[in-house]
């Protein structure tokens, strides 16, 4: 490009993502080795010819994804023991089924009001026990069992749940649409199907099943705790 006789080099403006990737590249190629301290943001900014705020955004992102650690005054250093950090999305079960191109089905199995047993009070981190709504239901994909959920819903926090026809609409959908939470604990493990679960999921006793337990709160108040037992072959994938 030429303006008034002078050659004007195109000014390439670095985005914070460019800075992030270039710094990440240096971690990848060993320029900055695990445990090493990186130059301060200001120096990197000068080197890259951008503002410190741009470097700051880049480094924060690297810090979030577990590549580096940052401490005020301590500076930034490459994490010595990198962790694999992944983001998981757990959709509403209906959407999960429909995204697979299957027809969603739902069957209410049991609806009772019971005193919460100790394993569940423990999940809620509650001091004592109380009466909650227990909803047992089956989600189906193309008519086949997909997920069996055994759920407890706090009647103190969510009394409106009693107004809902849980034979027509799953508690999963109603809660997730109407009761956003501020805290969510997840737990994944494998279990062998017991006789009852095997019967419900139409599989053999002893089959290896993946279980997803999810407990949610709004503030300090418990909303719900579900044990979702998935049918054989279920798998969880990290997104992108």
Partner DNA sequence: AAAATTAATATGTAGCTACATAAAATTGTC
Partner DNA sequence: GACAATTTTATGTAGCTACATATTAATTTT
Q: Are 80 and 34 in contact (CB under 8 A)?
A: yes
- Please, what is the minimum distance in Å from the beta carbon of residue 48 to DNA? 8
Q: Does 43 bind a second copy (CB under 8 A)?
A: no
Distance from C-alpha of 123 to C-alpha of 33, rounded to nearest angstrom: 41
Q: Which of DNA, a second copy, none is residue 63 near (CB under 5 to 8 Å by kind)?
A: DNA
Distance from C-alpha of 132 to C-alpha of 114, rounded to nearest angstrom: 6
Which residue is listed with tokens 């700051």?
Answer: 56
DSSP three-state, residue 107: strand
Total of residues contacting a second copy (CB under 8 A): 47
Please report the DSSP string for 166-230 in residue order: TTTS-HHHHHHHH---SEEEEEEEEEE--HHHHHHHTS-TT-EEEEEEEEEEETTEEEEEEEEEE
Alpha-carbon distances of 238 from 17, 114, 182, rounded to whole Å: 22, 36, 22
Q: Which is nearer to a second copy, 144 or 183 (CB)?
A: 183
Contacts with a second copy in 178-207 (CB under 8 A)? 180, 182, 184-192, 206-207
Q: Does 13 bind DNA (CB under 7 A)?
A: yes
Q: Is 202 exposed, middle or buried (0-12, 13-18, 19+ CB in 10 A)?
A: exposed
Total of residues contacting DNA (CB under 7 A): 28
Q: Which is nearer to a second copy, 37 or 187 (CB)?
A: 187
Q: Does 65 bind DNA (CB under 7 A)?
A: no
Q: Does 214 bind a second copy (CB under 8 A)?
A: yes
**Strand pairing report for 221-230 and 208-218:** antiparallel
Q: Which of 14, 18, 48, 66 binds a second copy (CB under 8 A)?
A: 66
Q: Which of 60, 65, 129, 203 binds DNA (CB under 7 A)?
A: 60
Q: Which of a second copy, DNA, none is residue 209 near (CB under 5 to 8 Å by kind)?
A: a second copy
Q: Which is nearer to DNA, 24 or 57 (CB)?
A: 57
Q: Which stretch binds a second copy (CB under 8 A): 10-18, 85-93, 119-127, 161-169?
A: 85-93
Helix (H) / strand (E) element for 154: namely strand 144-154
Q: Which of 44, 55, 67, 166 binds a second copy (CB under 8 A)?
A: 67
Which residue is listed with tokens 């010819």?
Answer: 49
Instruction: Show the CA angle centred on residue 151, arms to residues 213 and 85, nearest 5°.
Output: 20
Q: Which of 23, 50, 140, 193 binds DNA (CB under 7 A)?
A: 50
Q: Which is nearer to DNA, 57 or 179 (CB)?
A: 57
Question: Would you tell me which residues interact with DNA (CB under 7 A)?
Answer: 13-18, 38, 40-42, 49-54, 56-57, 59-60, 63, 70-76
């Amino acid at each position: 490009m030429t303006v008034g006789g002078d050659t004007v080099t195109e000014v390439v403006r670095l985005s914070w993502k460019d800075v992030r990737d270039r710094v990440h590249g240096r971690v990848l190629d060993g320029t900055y080795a695990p445990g090493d301290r990186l130059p301060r943001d200001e120096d990197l900014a000068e080197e890259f010819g951008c503002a410190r705020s741009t470097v700051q955004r880049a480094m924060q992102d690297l810090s979030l994804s577990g590549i580096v650690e940052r401490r005020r005054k301590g500076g930034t250093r490459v994490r010595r023991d990198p962790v694999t950090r992944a983001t998981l999305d757990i959709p509403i079960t209906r959407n999960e089924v429909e995204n697979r191109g299957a027809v969603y089905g739902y069957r209410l199995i049991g609806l009772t009001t019971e005193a919460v047993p100790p394993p569940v009070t423990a999940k809620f981190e509650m001091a004592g026990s109380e009466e909650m709504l227990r909803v047992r239901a089956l989600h189906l994909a193309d008519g086949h069992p997909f997920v069996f959920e055994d759920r407890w819903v706090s009647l103190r926090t969510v009394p409106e749940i009693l107004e809902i026809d849980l034979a027509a609409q799953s508690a999963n959908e109603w809660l997730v649409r109407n009761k956003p939470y501020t805290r969510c604990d997840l737990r994944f493990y494998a279990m062998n199907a017991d006789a009852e679960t095997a019967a419900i999921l139409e599989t053999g006793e002893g089959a290896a099943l993946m279980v997803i337990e999810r407990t949610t709160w709004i503030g300090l108040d418990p909303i719900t705790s579900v044990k979702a037992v998935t049918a054989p072959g279920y798998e969880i994938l990290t997104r992108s």
